[in-house]
Structures are given as C-alpha cells and as structure tokens.
Structure 1
Amino acid sequence: MAPKMLLRHRTRAEPQSDSDGSIESIRCGACGSGEADAELLLCDNCDAGYHTFCLRPILPRVPSGSWFCPSCSSSSSSGKKTPKKFPLVQTKIVDFFKIKRSSGFEKLESKKRKRKSVCISKKKRKLLPFNPTENPRRRLEQMASLATALTATGAVFSNELTYVAGMAPKSVNRAALEKGGMQVMSREDKETLIQCKAMMERGEWAPLLVVFDPVEGFTVEADRHIKDLTIITEYVGDVDYLRNRETDEGDSMMTLLSARDESKSLVICPDKRSNIARFINGINNHILDGKKKQNLKCVRFDVDGECRVLLVATRDIRKGERLYYDYNGSEHEYPTHHFV
C-alpha cells in the first residue's frame, strides 16, 4: 500500500476592489481567465494574479506564506531561474556526499565488474539492488546533478532518516503502531537494501539524473535501463509528528507512520536534509495518461521494527524515461489534477 499523503491547507486570492468600491474579478496574468479562483495566487508585491497551474514551473498548491509573481521575483534573489550547476570537481562531489575516500572512488578507474545474474519470480516479489553506471565519470555527473538540485533548494544531502531535537525522537518510530499493520521486509530484501546503502557510501549510485524542467521544476530521469522491482532509493529526511505539520506548506512530505493513535503518526520532511527521492515527481492520477506514466511505487516497510519508505520500480524503465509515482496511493488526498 502506498503511503498516505497529507492534505494541504489551501488559501485563495481575495477579490480586489475598484476605486468606486465595486468588486473587480482577478484574472490570471498568463491565461487571462478569472476561473478556478481557489487556485489563483495574488502577488504580495504588485497584486497580479496567476493560477498555480499556469506558472512555470507549476505550483502543486497555493502557498500559505508570501508569494511573488514571475515579474517581481525575477528582480529579486528569490526568483526561480535555471539553477547554477554544481561544479564537476571530484573532490567537491566526494565531500558533498561524504563518500568514503578509502573506497578507491577517487581513482576514477573504469572497471566493469562481474555481477551475479539474478532470477526473479514475480510471485515472490524479491527486490533487486540498483545497477550503477560503470563509467565513474558519468557517476560524477549524476551526483553533480543531485548536488545542483539540493544546493538550489537550500538542502543538504542525507541518505538516512534524521531525528532532530524538537521533532519526533527515534524511539517513536515503531512499526507496531501502524493502523492495520505494516508489510514486514523479508530477510532477503533487507540484505538488498543494505547492499544499496553500502554501494552509495563508496560512490556507486543508482543510474539517475536530476534535471530542471521549466514546467515540472526539478525532476529525475533514468540514465540507463532499470529493471522492474529495483530499489530506486529510500525516502529520507527529518522525522516529525504529523500534528506538527498539518499546516506546513512543504510539498514533499511523506507519511512514515499512520498510527491507530493519530497523535503518534509520523511524516518525513525532506526540506532541509534529503536525497534524490525529494525530486522524483508525482503523476496526475486524475487522467489515464498520467497513470500510464507511473513507473515507481512508494512502499512502507517494517524493517526490524522501524518504519522505512522505499521507492521501487514497478516495471522496466528505459534510459531517458522520467520517474513518477502516485503521491496519493489509494487515498487521493493530495491535489494532483494539475500535475503534468
């Protein structure tokens, strides 16, 4: 079962008054329509209106804080421009991702290693480890693309769930509290997850590129063929109580624990510490074409009594194909109707 996503609190632009006191309808500066006013933003500087779905990149929902239109934001430091690329310098990338220098990654020797052939039974649904790109130079480019996205969004890299003072402590992350129970990760799948983590620590990453799209913003695409049932990444970030985040405007929060006692429900907040999972986009699950694009599934597992969230390939993914999963799962609580 896919994790339940939070329903975001939405705000709406208020109609403007003309000089004679009459109400003037706000119209979108991009499409010229005044319809869909619940998704019409009003610039906090010039009062211009824009639909969330007419902006580039599209906004997934109306932000609760201040917002500035493209004209105003382009003249300020908060403007969304094409992100500055992280330098393709080996030492900087190794330091950014804290790769173990003893792994020999710095040598940049391209060696093809023999990998064991894995026969997979659909019925058993055993997970597969990702298959890193053989060329170390290309792996540097893949990591640099993620570093670019993290730097542009003001986040630092983390590949683990983090527990910060003032949020939820690690002791409350207990899979036994899950309402209805949680899927227990098998011994074989746990070994595969550990293998993926170990590979990343020595600089062998999943073959993924983070690219900036003018419509979707940051998004992720496969840089080589990826097999069905491959572990793409774990969803990580700061762990907090759901009750503390119900009015949070973050658009990347993920349910970690949906407890019988709602006060104990937990979410993952990847705004400050995160990995590539934060930049994998959701599908528009209100249309058939959107559902056809889905090639990943988000699954919560009980791993040694602790809740963990994985993104797993649901079919073979070709090189150059963008990765998408369903933000809503079966609950349909997150507004995805304007997703591409």
Structure 2
Amino acid sequence: MLCLSPIVVRVPIGPWHCPHCSGDQHRVIKSFSQKKIVDFFRIQKESQIVIRCTSAQDIRKRRKRSLVFHKRRRRLLPFTPTEDPQQRLDQMASLASALTALGMEFSDELTYMPGMAPRSANRAKFESGGMQVLSKEDTETLEQCRAMYKRGECPPLMVVFDSREGYTVEADGPIKDLTIIAEYTGDVDYIRNRQQDDCDSMMTLLLATDPSRSLVICPDKHGNISRFVNGINNHSPESKKKQNLKCVRYSVNGACCVLLVALRDIAKGERLYYDYNGYEQEYPTHHFL
C-alpha cells in the first residue's frame, strides 16, 4: 500500500482497484458551468449571490468588527468570501469536482439517513464529562457562515489534487486567526455500526458516557470541503509545524457540532492541516507527510 501515490492507510473493504487499474471509475470532472455549480450546491438566489459579490465596504466593516472581537474577547470570526465572482466560481468548481470524483453529494449540514443514528441521538448532554457550549456571539457567527454558504458565499479555499497527498485544500486568499473554516459534515451514525468501516475520514461527534450512544460523522456519501482537509503526522516535529487549523467540538443549541477553526493567520497558497488525533490517539498518521 505504501507504493501507491498517495498511500493507502489501510486495505479497503470489498472490491477495490488502485488508480492505475480503475480506468474511468473515478475520473475527475474538470469543469463546471455556473448553472451546474448552482445546482450542485443548491445555491439560493442565484442572480443575487453567484453573480453579485459582497461589496468591499461590507467586507471592510466585517473585518473591522471581527478584529475588535478577536483582540478583546477572542471570539470566532466569520470567513470573508472572495470578492471576484469568477474566482469564487473556480473555488466552488474545485470542490464540486473533488466530491464528484469520490461519488459524494454536497451537504453543508449533518445528515441523518434511515438505518443510521436519528437526529434525536445527537444530544450534547450525553457527552462523557460534558461538552463546551458555543457562546451566543459565536453561535451567531456560525449561523452567519451557514447563511453565506447557502447563498453561494464560501471561504477562499481551493481543493487541489497532489500526487503524494491526494485531495487537499489550499487557502485562495488570506484567512485570519480564529476564522471558522467549515463545519464537519456527513452522515451521522453510531460508532458501534462503524467498527469495520473503511472510511478514512470519520470524525468523532459524540463520546457518550454510555458507549452505545457514541456517534461519528461519516463523510463517504455526503460532505463538504472539510472532507479534503489533511492531517498532520503526529510523529514528525516538522509535520506538526504545518498545523494551521484546530478541530473543536461544541454544543450548539443542545446538539453536537464539529468546527474547523484557524488557529493562526493563514496566507494565500498555504495548505490547510489539522490534528486528526486532537481528541483520541487512534488514527494512524505515521505515514503522513
């Protein structure tokens, strides 16, 4: 498995072909028209959002307000969408292409599918030792980010393919410290149902006092850009220096939520990384770059 590029962390379950033998099974769609992007992401108010950019004046106001909060109270910041409409379309097209290549559908919220954990199972009160509650101000910031996503305004990020790392995410513009990058999304299921699952991007959602209540997020059928953010090598000091995001679990209106947040200023062109083992030391990262 180590001879593959990118490497395979573990042997997949069921029929599997390496990239050289798979032919067109995972062929990447290289271009998306504006209409396809609008349909793919189910963007609301197309004429107002995709074509019209957020005004520079609004962005300056947002930055000024956010910087004050950052210095005084360390509040989370909303992301600042790219002003150029074509650049924004290119960013969304890169994500649509990557999701399509993996046979995934876009979802910017947790999904609850029949046969998996129901929405009622996602309760932060079940967390062993309790879960930190997102403040009222930060909840408003999160809702602002969610609303921007629905309108087609996304963080300045590009999904690119690297021959060694696979799909990865790069900053397509400067990102401030404490900016909300994305909410980790996918299908919610009980951990007990995923013991033999070969999905390499599962995220812990709830570590319950009663293990039978513990939940994971499985972004194998549904997900967003968080699916493509890579992890650091926990065994390499040099790799640890690349970390520029943190993964944080919050209680939001009583439900568990996982956010990827910038832990320092990020420059344009910088790739995004976080610690896959921020909560549990169970993910094998010794082969990561």
Indicate the structure (1 or 2) with the bigger Cα radius of gyration: 1
> 1:330: how far off?
4.7
Structure-1 residue corresponding to 2:39: 95
**Percent of aligned pairs with the same amino acid:** 63
* 1:126-205 to 2 correspondences below 5 Å: 126-205=75-154
Structure-2 residue corresponding to 1:19: none
> 1:103: how far off?
5.8
CA contact (8 A) 2:232 2:288 kept: yes
Matching residue within 211, 217, 236 for 1:262 = 211
Q: CA 1:225 to 1:192, structure 2 compared with 1: closer, same or farther past 3 Å?
A: same
Q: CA 1:103 to 1:310, structure 2 compared with 1: closer, same or farther past 3 Å?
A: farther
Q: CA 1:310 to 1:109, structure 2 compared with 1: closer, same or farther past 3 Å?
A: closer
CA contact (8 A) 2:77 2:178 kept: yes
> 1:278: how far off?
0.3
Q: Which secondary structure does the structure 2 equivalent of 1:227 belong to?
A: coil
Bigger shift: residues 53-62 or 145-154: 53-62
Question: For 1:278-321, what per-residue CA distance to the aligned partner results, in whole angstroms no more than 9, with x for missing partners?
Answer: 01111111110110001001100000110000000001110000
Bigger shift: residues 201-210 or 62-71: 62-71
Q: Which secondary structure does the structure 2 equivalent of 1:278 belong to?
A: helix
CA contact (8 A) 2:75 2:178 kept: yes
Q: Counterparts of 2:176 and 2:279 in 1: how far apart (Å)?
A: 25
CA contact (8 A) 1:85 1:148 kept: yes
Structure-2 residue corresponding to 1:325: 274
Q: CA 1:180 to 1:132, structure 2 compared with 1: closer, same or farther past 3 Å?
A: same
* 1:225-264 to 2 correspondences below 5 Å: 225-264=174-213
**Moved runs in structure 1, 4+ residues, more than 6 A?**
none
Question: For 1:151-201, what per-residue CA distance to the aligned partner results, in whole angstroms no more than 9, with x for missing partners?
Answer: 000001100111111100001100000011101000000000000011111
Counterpart of 1:319, as a letter, is: K
Structure-2 residue corresponding to 1:84: 29
> 1:58: how far off?
1.6
Q: How many residues end up aligned between the 2 structures?
A: 284
Kindly report the root-mean-square deviation, in angstroms, between the aligned alpha carbons of the 2 structures: 1.7
Q: Which secondary structure does the structure 2 equivalent of 1:145 belong to?
A: helix
Counterpart of 1:313, as a letter, is: A
Q: CA 1:223 to 1:106, structure 2 compared with 1: closer, same or farther past 3 Å?
A: closer
Matching residue within 39, 56, 66 for 2:15 = 66
Structure-1 residue corresponding to 2:49: 105
Structure-1 residue corresponding to 2:235: 286
Structure-2 residue corresponding to 1:337: 286
> 1:121: how far off?
4.3
Q: Which secondary structure does the structure 2 equivalent of 1:338 belong to?
A: coil
Bigger shift: residues 116-125 or 315-324: 116-125
Structure 2 segments unaligned to the other structure (5+ residues)? none
> 1:332: how far off?
2.0
Matching residue within 148, 162, 187 for 1:213 = 162
Higher helix share: 2
Q: Counterparts of 2:43 and 2:228 in 1: how far apart (Å)?
A: 21
TM-score (norm 2): 0.93
1:307 aligns with 2:275: no
Q: Counterparts of 1:240 and 1:312 in 2: how far apart (Å)?
A: 24
Structure 1 segments unaligned to the other structure (5+ residues)? 1-51
> 1:126: how far off?
0.8
Q: Which secondary structure does the structure 1 equivalent of 2:155 belong to?
A: coil
